[in-house]
Structures are given as C-alpha cells and as structure tokens.
Chains A and B, each alone.
Chain A
Amino acid sequence: MSEQTPVRTTRAVQLTESREALGGRKQFLGGWRRRWNRMARWQQWLFLIIVLAAVYYLPVANPWLITTEPGNDFPIACFQMAVYALVAVGLNVVVGFAGLLDLGYIAFFAIGSYTAAFFTSPDSSLIHIPYLWTLPLALGIAMLFGVALGLPTLRLRGDYLAIVTLGFGEIIRILATIIPAARGQVGFKEVGHPPGTASDGQPIFSVSNGVPWYWLAVTVIIVILLLVGNLERSRVGRAWIAIREDEDAAEIMGVPTFKFKLWAFAIGAGVGGLSGALFAGQVGFVNNQKFDVATSMLFVAAVVLGGSGNKVGAILGGAIVAYIPLRFTAIADYKYLIFGIILIVLMIFRPQGLVAAKAHLLTYSRLALDKVSEFRAARVASEQEKAAAAEAAKGVPNE
C-alpha cells in the first residue's frame, strides 16, 4: 500500500513503528485521548461524573461569555445544542462509522417530529398517546423509513445513497406541504410534553422553560451513547468500520456488508426520528417550514467538523453547529455559507475533524493491551538474556 518500504521486519522495527503509531499521530486534543487511556478505571469514572455534573448544570449556571442571551434564551439554546448533538450522534453512526453519506437526515428528523405531532396534538384526528410514548414510536417509525429507503440504495455504490437521501429530505418536506392530512403550513399546535406540574400550576415541561427539556435531552443522549458504544465495541462496530475502510475486502472477510449497512442506516434514521420527536415536544408546534434540506447539510457539517467516526467529536460538532448561530446572531444568516465552506476546507486540510480519535472496537481492549505488553516484556527480557549470552560468547567466530 502506501508504505512500500521493504524494510527488514525485525521485531525492533515493529516496536518503534507501533510506538510511533500510538503516540506520534498528530491530533488536536490528541493528548487528552492518550491521557484518558492511561487513567485507571476509577479515575475515568470520576472524571466522567464531574463532566456530566457540569453538563447538567450548564443551563442553570448560564455562564458569562458563553451565554447566548440577550439574543436567545440560554436554556433553550442549550436544548437546541443537545438536540443537534443527538442528531450528530445518530448521523455519526451512518456517516462516521459505516461511511455512508446520508444527506436527507432532516427527513428522519421530520418524521420523528410529525410522529410526535400526529399522536399528541389536538389538531390531529389520530389516536392520542402520552408524549413519552411517542419517543420510542418516532424511533421505530423513522427506522422503518430508513429500511425502506436503504433497501433499494444500499446495494449500490455510496453516491447513489447520497443523492437519493438528498431527494428524500426534500420529498418529505413537499409531502408535508401537499398532503392535506399533514396540514402544511398550518401545522399542529400543542404537541404533547412529559407529565408533571410545577408548584405554580404550570407544566414542568413548558415551551418557555428549556431547562427540563435540556435535562431530558441530555439523558436521552447518554442512553443513546451507551447503546451506540455497545454496538461500536462489538462485531457490529467492527463491521461498520471495515465497510467504511474497504467494503469489498470486508465482504471477502465474511462481513455481510449489505445487512450491516442497512442496520447502520436504520439505527441512524431511528436516532434522527427520536431527536425530531424531542424537538417537536419542546417547540410545541410542528409545520412544514422547519425541515429545510439545508439543515441536513448542517447535520453533516456537525459530524465532519467534530471528527467523523467518533462520538465525542459528534457531540462537540453538533453543539458547535447549533451554538454559533445562536451566540453570534450577527452571522446567523451566513451559517449555511460558513458551514458549507468549512466542509470544503476541512475535507481538504483536516479530513479527520477537530477530535481525531479512533473508534474503540473491542470489548476487551484492556485485555489486549495487557497481552501485548506481556509480549513486549518477554521480548525485552529475552533480548537482555541474549545480550548477556552474546557478551559471554564474545570471541566465538560465529557471525
């Protein structure tokens, strides 16, 4: 391949190579990753708990400089960042892991929003169910749409999927406009919210109070992250990365590529639907104006900006893409242009994104690390032994 250096493959060479590979990779925030890997389990947990506490506390703290006020209400801005982060986590499964470009992600988001509206809004004539039930329902329905769209396209080369999803994103918006039951621009008012009433008689999850919605969204993100993490460190995640790296080789190594691509696509669609339902609940109103295909491009930009193929990057990317237009309202109109240019520039100069981290693909990665260090220790010991032996055998005219 690229490194066609016919080097003599002695162990010493391999060792230095692997040291370089582990430590020498240039990456922004890369030092953090190395430090993280070196931490003990309890340290990692402690660190995570502190970070989580800070994340949950964020909208209440409303820190100076970071706040989006007076332009935008900060807790609601936090909620929107969380929704974008969730979207990015879902899209990252499709784009980052499996390497499939889904340009119509907004369509699944819209499907989720409309699912929440259809089953909770008084404007809908369908049966009504509690809002929280619409979250798994939105996930399921969006997954079904994902499968329906993936079946014809995933057997073909990747760019077909890209353009078909791009079309799908637009088609869903058009359908919302021209199908009478979807109520076009009139839309659905009073989309449901989780139960609970505050002391003043107002619902806890009101349209104007972003804090509980933000907490709900962050909790959903954590659950989804854990589940996606489970998939990542299993044969599923390995199959996805293998498909992304070399689809033909993956197939020849026994990976049923079509099946796993379809799973990636469906899981991504499901998370998109889930985030759409969350969004619809907080805004309380769904109509056809919110699901512009251009927003799909922002979603892709979020994944690419953060670093495709890694969850931390996706969350960061999603939050940044949502945050910048809210914080710097003067440039909000330019956001599509800015992120469009960022996409080109990143792909040319830094395709790995801000947080370049490799996906964890083994459940027992620590076991593997231990085993390898055992090998190294054994080799070092035997080399020392040999050196000693060679010292002793000096003068022997062999070699």
Chain B
Amino acid sequence: MLATLFSLSAALPASVSTDNSWINFDVTSLLQNFWPATFDGLTFGAIYALIALGYTLVYGVLNLINFAHSEVFIMGCYGVVFTLTSLGFGPNAPNLSIWAIIFNLILAMLVGMVFSVVTAFVVERVAYRPLRRRGASRLAFLITALGASFSIQYLIFLVRGSNAEPAVTMFIPTPIFQVFGAIIDSQQLTIVIAAIVMMVATDQYIRRTRVGRGIRAVAQDPDTATLMGVNKDRIIVTTFVIGGILAGAAALFYVMKVPSGVIYNGGFVLGIKAFAAAVLGGIGNVRGALLGGLLIGVIGNYGQLLLGDSQWTDVVAFIVLVLVLLIRPSGLLGQTLGRSRA
C-alpha cells in the first residue's frame, strides 16, 4: 500500500506556491515524513485522549459538554510550568540523573493535577450546581460553562499577560529504537505509555469500583440512581475531579512536548481537538476517547505535512469532527457510558 502511494507521488508535480493560491497540497512531504509524523501524531493523540476523557466522563454523567474543560487543562499547564520554573528548570534541560528527572516530573504532574482539579471543582460549583438546583434549561448550562471558560481565560490573561510562558525543557529526548526508519525517542515513549496506563486505570476504576458503579448508574438513569441511594451530586463532582486529574497529567505531557505552548487562550484549540477525539471515538465511551485521540493526533499531523502549516492540524481535526457528526454521530465505538442522544 505504501509502495502505491510512493508511485503516486512520482506522478504528481511538486506544488507550486503562488501569492493568490488557496490551498497547496504537498504530497511528497507527507510521504517522506510519513512514519515520523505517525509516531509524533500518536504522542499528541495520547495527550488529546487524556483531555478527551474529561469531556467524555462529564458528558456521560451530565449529558452536557463541559466547555470549561479546556480551561481545566490549561490551568494544569500553568501548575506544571510554575512548579518546574521554581525547581530551576529553564529553556535548556538541566543535566540531572534519571531519578531526579522522574521525581521532578512526578512533582510537577501532581501540582498540575491539583491546579486542574481545583479548577474543575470550582467550575462545577459555580457554573453547574446552581443551575442544576433550579432545573435550568440545557442552553443555560452551555452559556454558564461558556462564561466560566472565558472568565478563567481572561483571569489568566490579567495575571500572566498575553505572552506565552517561557519555555521549560525537562529532558532531552534520547532515541530508543527505530520503526520503519522512524526514530522513537524516550519522550514519545514516556508520554504514550504513561497516557495509556492512566486511561486503563480510569477504565478499570469505572468498571470495578463502587464509585465507578455509581458513575455508570448516574450515567444510565440519574433519577433512578438517586432513588437507589446514589449521591448524584457527589458522583458529578467525582467525575469533574477525575477529569481534572487526567487533564493535569495531560498538562505535564503537553508541556513536555510543546515547552513554550502555555498561553492564556491555549487550552481552547486543544479543547476542540480533544472534543473531536471524544466524538470520533464515541462520546461517553472511555475506550473510544483513546482511539479517537490517537486518530485525531495522527490525522492532524498528516494534514500538517500535506498542507504545509502547523495550524492545519487544527483545521483538519475540525473537519474530521464535522465529518464524523455527518456520517456516524455516535462515533466509532458508540456511546456506552451515557445514554444515547435523545
């Protein structure tokens, strides 16, 4: 299959860039960098998947998209950056022993998680709970979530200004092995493995534990679950908190991957991509979030190579989202945690 693609590229002329052109396709670039882009995409995909889980869990329980989840994530990023900066990390990676690096990373991740969890908790308390109490319309929830999202964004803006945080590099990725001629480095491996471990843990938590059973019960039928003695409010807070923990972990990996990418409105586009991932896999479906995240990461990278600008990843992810909604709105793996759409 790859061979046919290559022969296709030989037949295509190199793209000509003119001033008034609309879109250029650079097939050669895509084919030359296919495997590195795939593995890099999987790394990003793992991050998207962790954020997507936050959307999926809240959607499963509340049947609402938590618009403020992108801010939960970006607050985690700030937590990670603050910790690492105060530990003395800077644009150049310090020469530390492997155990020191691991210790610092775990510390940064924990702080990131605390930031995210606190944000998620506050969002639930301020923007969701009061409305739930008075049985507001669905539109009202969306609007308060939107308000919360922008309030947090511009609070950060007021405190930290409009520039991105200075870059923090944790360690220099070292090549580990090669697949199809593409180098897999320690960073990619760390992120993908850690993300998958966390997702499996979440999946098992929801399937095996008492709280997880409560979450599933509320997802299926909130009223009956309440009658059966499940504390709905507590379950909802729990899902926000789990989403926050995963977003905090995603924040660490994101800072690792994009050291200078922490900016007040940076969560927004990532949020859209993570949501696209959740829908692609089947919103409300924990395993679907992983699949969707990896796919969005890889497809976005291909789009970037094909179209020539890193911002195309966002456009491609968005187009994928619209196509999924058009063709298979329940996603690849279907919706399991929540009820199907009314």
In the complex, A touching B (Cβ < 8 A):
yes
Binding site for B on A (CB under 8 A): 95, 99, 101, 103, 125, 149, 151-153, 155-160, 162-164, 166-168, 170-171, 174-175, 177-181, 244, 248, 293-294, 297, 300-301, 304, 333-334, 336-337, 339-344, 347-348, 351
Return chain B residues, CB-CB under 8 Å to A159. 64-65, 138, 142
B272 at the interface (CB under 8 A from A): yes
Q: Name the distance in Å between A398's Cβ and chain B's nearest Cβ.
A: 48
> Known: A157-B341, A336-B153, A340-B150. Is A351-B136 also a contact (CB below 8 A)?
yes
Return chain B residues, CB-CB under 8 Å to A351. 136-137, 140
Do A347 and B20 touch (CB < 8 A)? no
Return chain A residues, CB-CB under 8 Å to B137. 99, 351
Do B158 and A174 touch (CB < 8 A)? no
- The stretch that binds A, out of B111-119, B197-205, B238-246, B309-317, is B309-317
B268 at the interface (CB under 8 A from A): yes
Return chain B residues, CB-CB under 8 Å to A101. 139, 142-143, 146
Chosen A-B contacts, 5 in total, with CB atoms closer than 8 Å, are A160-B279, A166-B67, A340-B150, A343-B147, A344-B127
Select B325's contact among A160, A304, A339, beta carbons within 8 Å: A160
Do B147 and A179 touch (CB < 8 A)? no
- B279 — nearest CB in chain A belongs to which residue? A160
Do B139 and A95 touch (CB < 8 A)? yes
Do B150 and A297 touch (CB < 8 A)? yes
Binding site for A on B (CB under 8 A): 17-23, 64-65, 67, 126-127, 130-131, 134, 136-140, 142-144, 146-151, 153-155, 157-158, 265, 268-269, 272, 275-276, 279, 307, 309, 311-312, 314-315, 318, 321-323, 325-326, 329, 341-342
Do A174 and B314 touch (CB < 8 A)? yes
Do B138 and A348 touch (CB < 8 A)? no
Return chain A residues, CB-CB under 8 Å to B269. 170
> Known: A99-B139, A163-B67, A347-B147. Is A179-B22 also a contact (CB below 8 A)?
yes
Known: A159-B138, A300-B143. 19 other contacts (CB 8 A): A99-B137, A101-B139, A151-B326, A156-B341, A158-B139, A160-B329, A167-B321, A171-B318, A178-B311, A179-B23, A180-B18, A180-B19, A181-B20, A294-B150, A334-B154, A339-B150, A340-B147, A340-B151, A343-B147
**Complex: A384 Cα to B326 Cα, angstroms:** 64
Return chain B residues, CB-CB under 8 Å to A152. 322-323, 325-326
Do B314 and A170 touch (CB < 8 A)? yes
Return chain A residues, CB-CB under 8 Å to B65. 159-160, 162-163
Q: Name the distance in Å between A257's Cβ and chain B's nearest Cβ.
A: 13
Of B21, B154, B312, B342, most buried by chain A (CB within 10 Å of CB) is B154
- A153 — nearest CB in chain B belongs to which residue? B325
Return chain A residues, CB-CB under 8 Å to B151. 337, 340-341, 344
Return chain B residues, CB-CB under 8 Å to A175. 315
Return chain A residues, CB-CB under 8 Å to B312. 178
Q: Name the distance in Å between A26's Cβ and chain B's nearest Cβ.
A: 16
Do B342 and A248 touch (CB < 8 A)? yes
Select B67's contact among A162, A333, A342, beta carbons within 8 Å: A162
Do A125 and B131 touch (CB < 8 A)? no
Q: Name the distance in Å between B337's Cβ and chain A's nearest Cβ.
A: 16
- A148 — nearest CB in chain B belongs to which residue? B322
Return chain B residues, CB-CB under 8 Å to A297. 146-147, 150
Do B158 and A337 touch (CB < 8 A)? yes
Do B143 and A156 touch (CB < 8 A)? no
Do A174 and B315 touch (CB < 8 A)? yes
**Complex: A332 Cα to B323 Cα, angstroms:** 39
- B341 — nearest CB in chain A belongs to which residue? A157
Do B146 and A178 touch (CB < 8 A)? no
> Known: A157-B342, A174-B311. Is A337-B154 also a contact (CB below 8 A)?
yes
Do B142 and A180 touch (CB < 8 A)? no
Do B140 and A340 touch (CB < 8 A)? no
Q: Name the distance in Å between B65's Cβ and chain A's nearest Cβ.
A: 4
> Known: A95-B139, A180-B22, A351-B140. Is A167-B153 also a contact (CB below 8 A)?
no
Return chain B residues, CB-CB under 8 Å to A342. 147
**Complex: A103 Cα to B155 Cα, angstroms:** 20
The 9 closest A-B pairs by CB, nearest first: A343-B147, A340-B151, A340-B150, A152-B326, A337-B154, A344-B147, A336-B154, A159-B65, A167-B272
Select B272's contact among A170, A304, A334, beta carbons within 8 Å: A170
**Complex: A113 Cα to B149 Cα, angstroms:** 27
- B308 — nearest CB in chain A belongs to which residue? A178
Q: Name the distance in Å between A111's Cβ and chain B's nearest Cβ.
A: 15
Return chain A residues, CB-CB under 8 Å to B323. 152
> Known: A170-B269, A337-B154, A351-B136. Is A164-B309 also a contact (CB below 8 A)?
no
**Complex: A221 Cα to B157 Cα, angstroms:** 34
Of B20, B131, B147, B275, most buried by chain A (CB within 10 Å of CB) is B147
Select B131's contact among A300, A301, A347, beta carbons within 8 Å: A347
- B133 — nearest CB in chain A belongs to which residue? A348
**Complex: A223 Cα to B191 Cα, angstroms:** 57
**Complex: A50 Cα to B152 Cα, angstroms:** 43
**Complex: A99 Cα to B137 Cα, angstroms:** 10
Do B272 and A348 touch (CB < 8 A)? no
**Complex: A160 Cα to B67 Cα, angstroms:** 11
**Complex: A131 Cα to B223 Cα, angstroms:** 58
Do B272 and A341 touch (CB < 8 A)? no
